[in-house]
Amino acid sequence: MSLKSFVKENPMIKKLVLSILFRRRPYQSKVRWFVWCLFIFPKYFRRGISWRSRLDLVPFNKFSLGSYSRIEDGVVINNGMGDIIIEDEVHTGVGCVLIGPITLHKHVGLSQYVRILGMHHGIDPDKPHHHHPSTKAPVILEEDVFVGTGTVIMGKKSGEPLVLGKYCRIGANSVVMTDIPPYSVAVGNPAKVVRIWNTTLKKWVKPASNKPIL
């Protein structure tokens, strides 16, 4: 059994480790100063990460940034719930929030203020909000996905990965809660597919239609 698995399977030890890593305040996800100095501060020297971004990173989950990828000002990245993997040539726009587990494949583009949440909060009326249980809900953006400004992408309540297929486009201010197929355009709250790419006609068409959109 790995050390990580051992800690996760022992509630008392897990609680102790979390109290050492994080500040003891309600709604506080920032790590303590020594964790920041040892594990986070050196990452700001990496090319592509803005000094005005916020990295809430823990050592027991992965965070990786590929070649020629860029994290802009005001971006918040938190891997406390799961790994955050950012592959090559990914652009994360100003003010985005990424809460793992999240995987962004090559050439993904996130406009300003996109929220991607790889988790879900439970609801317990007998407890304060910050004591509600949380569960992982992985989010995967395949290659060449582009997400418009202000969009919210939320993982599935079932805990199964939510996947945005290759080269799909998400309109601004959409709310995505289900899989989006490859080579499609989705907009709205909740997001619905309004166009798909017809590989034969080489044009965008309406769903379930063979007629090209002119």
Q: What is the CATH number of the domain that holds 105?
A: 2.160.10.10
Cβ atoms of 135 and 171 within 8 Å: the answer is no
- Say if 20 falls within a structural domain: no
- Does some domain include residue 36? no
- The pLDDT score that the predictor gives to residue 89 is 96
Q: For residues 124 and 148, give the distance between their C-alpha atoms in angstroms, rounded to a whole number.
A: 33
How would residue 214 be classed by pLDDT, with cut points 50, 70 and 90?
A: very low
Task: Report if residue 102 sits inside a domain.
Answer: yes
Residue-level pLDDT at 39: 67
150: pLDDT strictly greater than 70: yes
Question: Residue 212 pLDDT more than 60?
Answer: no
Concatenating the DSSP letter of every residue in 34-66 gives: HHIIIIIGGGGGSTTB-TTSEEE--TTS-EEE-
pLDDT at 25: 59
| Spatial CA neighbour of 104 closest among 94, 120, 116 | 116
End-to-end CA distance of the chain: 59
Question: pLDDT over 70 for what percent of the chain?
Answer: 82
Structural domain boundaries, residue 92: 49-205
Residue 17 lies in a domain: no
The percent of residues above 90 in pLDDT, for the chain, comes to 52
pLDDT band at 209 (very low <50, low <70, confident <90, very high): low
Amino acid at 103: T
pTM: 0.82
33: left (phi over 0), alpha (psi -120 to 50) or beta: alpha
For residue 168, being part of any structural domain is answered with yes
Task: With beta carbons less than 8 A apart as the criterion, state whether 23 and 35 touch.
Answer: no
Q: Write the pLDDT tens digit of every residue in 92-112.
A: 999 999 998 999 999 999 999
What is the per-residue pLDDT across 1-39, written as a single tens digit (0 to 9) for each?
A: 677 777 777 777 777 776 777 666 554 566 666 776 766
Distance CA 90, CA 75 (A): 14
Per the CB < 8 A criterion, the answer to whether 103 and 90 are in contact is: no
Categorize the per-residue pLDDT at 41 as very low, low, confident or very high, splitting at 50, 70 and 90.
low
**How confident is residue 208, by pLDDT bands cut at 50, 70 and 90?**
confident
Note the pLDDT of residue 194.
Answer: 95
Q: Is residue 57 part of a domain?
A: yes
Higher pLDDT pick, 200 / 7:
200
In a domain, 120, yes or no: yes
For residues 14 and 66, which has the higher predicted lDDT (pLDDT)? Answer: 66
Q: Write out the two tokens for 46.
A: 């990496």
Q: Which two tokens stand for residue 40?
A: 């986070």
Is 63 within a domain? Answer: yes
Contact 56, 80 (CB under 8 A): yes
pLDDT of 205 strictly over 50: yes
Among residues 108, 107, 165, which one has the least CA distance to residue 98?
108
Number of structural domains (the chain) is: 1
Closest-CA residue to 90 (of 74, 101, 103): 103
CB-CB contact of 199 with 177 (8 Å) = no
Query: What are 181's two structure tokens?
Result: 């197929």
